[in-house]
Amino acid sequence: MSLKSFYRDLADRSDTRARKYNIDPPRPGRKTYQQRINETRNMTTPQIDAKIAERERQDKECGVLYRVRSERS
């Protein structure tokens, strides 16, 4: 498995996958996967890199950021 496909699988939080695996929707006030992916796709590559660095310093999940970044490589 390539690193690119690994990050795609890791970040897959789509509504389809949620129904398939009976995963609960996000808590009230939280963004859906589609909202997060759309916002990330609107960012420039340097903005994504900066956001990844910031979130990794805070030990937060970066799957969507890595997925969009890998799509651009």
* Whether 65 contacts 48, CB under 8 Å: yes
For residue 73, the model assigns a pLDDT of: 76
Q: Which pLDDT tens digit goes with each residue over 18-73? A: 777 776 666 778 787 788 889 999 999 999 999 999 999 999 989 899 999 998 87
| 0.85 surpassed by pTM | no
Distance CA 14, CA 11 (A): 9
Q: Where exactly are the structural domains of the chain?
A: 3-22+30-72
Residues of the chain by 3-state class (helix, strand, coil), percent to 5: 65, 0, 35
Take residue 73 and report the two structure tokens written for it: 């490589």
For residue 39, the model assigns a pLDDT of: 94
